[in-house]
Each structure stands twice: as structure tokens, then as C-alpha cells.
Amino acid sequence: MPRLNSTLTSCGIRVAASALPSTTDAVLEAKAALDGGDYQHIIAFFGIDHDADALARTLTQSFPGVPTSGCSTAGEIGPTGMMQGGLILIAFPREGFRVHSELITDIDHFGVERATNAVRRLKAQICEPPARLAKDDVFALLLVDGLSNAEENIVAAIHWEIDDVELIGGSAGDGICFERTVMIHNGRVAQRAAVLMMIESDYPFRVFKTQNFEPTGIKLVVTAADTENRIVHELNAEPAGREYAAAIGLQPDDLGPFSFASYPLVVKVGGDYYCRSIRNMNPDGSLSFFCAIDEGLVFTVARPRDILNATEAALQDIDATLGGIDIVVGFDCILRRLDAESRQIRHQMDELYKKYSVAGFHTYGEQYNAMHLNQTLTGIAFGRRAGA
């Protein structure tokens, strides 16, 4: 039987978790839970209190010859449900998968050019140009610094180059400190960076997103902003924090992560609504955002629907499409976790994620094809090999 802190799937992907505070001890406990499998790539998601240098070094020593990737988080999701400050290892087996990866550095200055070149090099490892990638056999997975303010440009550059291949991913976090996020790749630690993986799979998979909000009739227009730093100073020509608070029936002093999670701001793109979530209110009353903003942007105040039922319905639909979910690698917005906690349904969300073998982390933003999103769960669900 699998250990309580590990999951073994039919497709051979194995997930291990550790809540030990010592970075070295956590890696060793997770390694023991992986049970000596033959792995070709390991992805690590870890709380910011872990020493990233020690983590990268210990992973390299513990899994010699196995490439590693990963990032810091705003919380982890694993075999025991949702964690904070833990370590999750997702190990891809040699059989059934081929993982190609690159670290993209200085993404806030040279991100578009370097991301484009990285895609071209990874594509060349899979097929010879001018052949196109087979979207049913390959997907892209992106981990990106959630404090870089570069996610939209990186995602757009990658999506432009990867043919019809679908992209999924998440933005690294540091709890809810918003001070320092880190990436790791093959023993190296980097900030203002991204890790791009192109993964070939012999198993069926589905890329998905789900969200649990609905728009109201309340509109807020960005009338003054620092677009480079994603800060809104005015909404409807009034101080941003005060105007947002009034729109949701609160006082500015009452604003915080839970109110931002309960009353998200959304924009309409191509007939669908997408969150542009507030990260925090600044001392001067301005609002910092997780996503890109611009003057003239029209926000709609939204209200959340039942997060538990919306998430379960999405996973049930994917389960039916795949003929049974084997495992989900998921990227869940930190504001969704805070919303679940404020509604006292975190335990039910834990059970739902364990039921569908969801493994991943809580993010500062989610990637879905050409979009950088907020307040969504994006992911890739794997089924069992045809005939298995």
C-alpha cells in the first residue's frame, strides 16, 4: 500500500509530501516515500521557509542524474491535501513520459526573446522543423516568478511559438508575504526567472481551468495607474481602495486577503470573464494587482459561487471525458484557498483534491494557454493508457 504521504498512479507518476521543517530532512523523507522508482524528472513545490539553495543541492545529491525543476509556493497540495510550508515532489517515470526543460532567466528584462528561443530549442528535441508538435501527445508546463510582473509577456511569447500545443502552469509565491519568490532548476536557484517544460506523454491528458465567480452589475474603471508595477491609484476617479471598499459594502480599513477573495474584480475578454485579482492594499490606499492592468480598463465586481460544487463539477466532467482521472497536476490560486478557509470548507476541499489525486501548489497566478489568470484552478489531468 502507498504511504500516507505519497501517491502512486497507474501512469507511474508518483507524488510525495513532507511537512518536516528541516529542508534536508524533508527531501530525504519525500525521497523515501518515492520508494526508489526510476524517474526521469522531478518537480518540487516548496514553502518559502525552506532554504532554496539547500533544497536544490539536496535534490541533486538525492536523485543523481535526474533533472529537477520547481518553485516556491503560497501553499502546497499533495497526498494529504492542502499544506503550508511543506514540500511536494512530483516524479515523472522514465517509461511513458519524456520531459524536456529549460530555465529562462531575467524575464523582466529579456523574457520574450529568451522564452521564444527556449521554446525553439525544446521543440527541436521533440521534432525536426518544419514539423509541428502533436498537440495530443505534448503539452507545455510553465513555472514563473509570481513577483516578476512579466507573466503576460512570457505566456504570450511561448504560446506564439508552440503551435497548437496547450500550455498550463502557475506563478511562484511566498506564502502571502509578496517579498521573495524563487525558482530551482537542475541545482540552480534563480529569481525573476521561469522554468519551461515540454512534456511528451503516452497517456491521455486534458488541460483545463475552472473558476467559481459570477459578475454583478457594478463597474469600476481604472482612471489612474502605475501599469509597470500593477498598481491602481484611482477607480472611477476616486482613491482606489476607498472606491473598491464602497462598491462591496466595506470600510477601507476592513480590506484584506479574505475580502479580495470574496469580491474579485473581473474583466470581459472574448465573451468570457477573467479575474484580475487584488494582491494587497498599499499604505497610500492604492491597490496592487496580481495581473497586468492599464488605465481605461473596466472592472466588474464579481461574487463567488460555491467553490466546492464548481470545482467538483469540473473534475467530474474531466473524469468522465478521460474515462477516469489517474492524477491531476494543479495550479490553484491562493485566493481560492483563502475563500475556502473563510467559508470553513477547507476540509471538504482537501477531501475533493485527495479523491481526484490533485498535486500542485497555491499560486500568485495561473497560466492557461495564452492567458495569465487569477482566482482559477488550472491543471492537467492524466488518464490511463488506452487498453490499460
In the predicted model, what is the mean pLDDT of residues 195-216? 94
pLDDT at position 386 is 55
The pLDDT tens digits for 62-86 are: 999 999 999 999 999 999 999 999 9
Q: What is the model's pLDDT at position 2?
A: 41
Question: What's the CATH fold of domain 213-304?
Answer: Elongation Factor Tu (Ef-tu); domain 3 (2.40.30)
CB 24 within 8 A of CB 93: no
Residue with C-alpha cell 470574496? 262
Q: 285 near 242, Cβ under 8 Å?
A: yes
Which three three-digit cell numbers place residue 109?
Answer: 528584462
pLDDT tens by residue, 329-385? 999 999 999 989 988 999 999 999 999 999 999 999 999 999 999 999 999 999 986
Q: How confident is the model at residue 135 (pLDDT cuts 50, 70, 90)?
A: confident
The cell numbers describing 126, all together, are 521533440
The answer to whether the peptide bond before residue 283 is cis (omega within 30 degrees of 0) is: no
pLDDT band of residue 387 (cuts 50, 70, 90) is very low
Residues of the chain with CATH 2.40.30: 213-304
Q: What is the pLDDT of residue 4?
A: 57
| Whether the predicted pLDDT of 8 surpasses 80 | no
Give helix 23-34 / helix 52-62 axis angle, nearest 10°.
30
Instruction: Give the 3-state secondary structure of residue 375.
Output: coil
- 347 CB-near residues (< 8 Å, 6+ apart): none
Q: What is the pTM of this model?
A: 0.91
Model confidence at 1: pLDDT above 50: no
Q: Can you give the pLDDT at residue 26?
A: 97
Q: What is the pLDDT of residues 290-317, one digit of tens each?
A: 998 999 999 999 987 889 999 999 999 9
Is pLDDT at 132 greater than 90 in this prediction?
Answer: no
| Section 245-251 average pLDDT | 95
Sign, Cα dihedral of 375, 266, 379, 116 = negative
Summary mean pLDDT of the chain: 93
Q: pLDDT value at position 163?
A: 84
Q: How many CB atoms lie within 10 A of CB 13?
A: 25
**CA 319/CA 339 separation, integer angstroms:** 25
Residue 38 has pLDDT above 50, yes or no: yes
Distance, CA of 195 to CA of 91 (rounded, Å): 16
